Amino acid sequence: MNDPQEFDVAVEGGDLRVCAWPGTGPVVLAAHGITANAFAFARLARELGGRVRLVAPDLRGRARSNALPGPYGMAAHAADLIAVADHLGVERVTLAGHSMGGFVVASTAAAHPGRVSGVLLIDGGVALPTPPTLDVDAVLRAVIGPAMQRLGMTFESREAYVGFFRAHPAFAENWSADVEAYAIRDFQDGRSSCSLEAVRADATDTLIEKATVDAVRHLPGPARLLWADRGLMNEKQGLYDPGRIATAGLDPARIAVEHVPGVNHYTILFDDDAVARVAGRILEMAAAHTGPL
């Protein structure tokens, strides 16, 4: 696996840990999912091959940023991403977000339109209809399954933790060194590094906060949604399908929609063919702002 440079960026409440994979091209900022970490993008970084500089923080409340306090939610994550851009001296930047990270980058673009040159949503960022009253923990258990379960578990060793990940339906037939490194980064003191408080707050925001739900409709520049065939537990029904996307009311003049076949919600970032497609779309967006890469 290609190891990134790691550094801290001062944000509200402390330091945000950031991973940066070397590159000679423009900076692309990436935001990961609700119980994930920056290493979700390691395979993508290798595919990009240094044509851009891919930069991904461990979001507030996760991995090496898990000591950062609340308030959590998309506004806090957006402020953190802008702090990273400021630290790097970047005025306008392409954003990519996977899963909940899609809501993070959409919220960032909506709140700071002058700082964003393009937005790539990777199986996330577009809200689906939810009942007006809901139990956030129940929704999390139903949607992310084992990812939510592990936050309340302890493990006797790093190997046991990796074993739990390896049995996850999304990874059971799609294991790799990149997935293993991603799992290990989350392991801390016998358990997941993810703050349950952060996960609950962020889930509440993405499910019911109108500004977050509507952010995707107010993106300032070119945007694209890549959606995976299958879901978070490798089930046939993914988060999105043509019907659900139609219900979301996206403006086709503002957001291009593209189906990525043969992958689930997680393997869209680890499968060779899917990652090549994601990398291609990132390079197209970055080149639209800076010129050929």
Q: How far apart are CA 40 and CA 18, in angstroms?
A: 13
User: Hey, which residues does 56 pair with through a beta bridge?
Assistant: 19
pTM: 0.94
The per-residue pLDDT for 187 is: 97
Phi, psi of 98 (to 5 degrees): -105, 135
Q: Average per-residue pLDDT in the chain?
A: 92
What number is the average pLDDT over the span 278-282? 97
Which whole number is the average pLDDT over 156-167?
A: 96
**Spatial separation of the C-alpha atoms in residues 100 and 240, rounded to whole Å:** 14
Give pLDDT, residue 211. 76
Q: Is the pLDDT of residue 146 over 70?
A: no
How do residues 16-34 score in pLDDT, each as one tens digit? 999 999 999 999 999 999 9
Q: CATH number, domain at 87?
A: 3.40.50.1820
With 60 as the cut, is the pLDDT of residue 1 above it? no
Residue 204 or residue 4, greater confidence? 4
The pLDDT value given to residue 128: 75
Q: According to the 3-state scheme, what is the secondary structure of 43-82?
A: HHHHHHCCCCEEEEECCCCCHHHCCCCCCCCHHHHHHHHH
Residue 292 pLDDT grade (very low, low, confident, very high; cuts 50, 70, 90): low
pLDDT of residue 208: 74
Overall domain count for the chain: 1
User: Which pLDDT belongs to residue 220?
Assistant: 79
The pLDDT tens digits of the residues spanning 230-243 come to: 999 999 999 999 99
pLDDT of residue 129: 66
Distances (CA, A) of 147 to 74, 151, 155, 282: 20, 7, 14, 27
- Among 47-56, 104-113, 204-213, 242-251, the least confident range: 204-213
Tell me the mean pLDDT in the region 111-140: 83
Reported as a single tens digit per residue, the pLDDT across 48-94 is 999 999 999 999 999 999 999 999 999 999 999 999 999 999 999 99
Structural domain range at position 85: 5-290
pLDDT at 204 over 60: yes
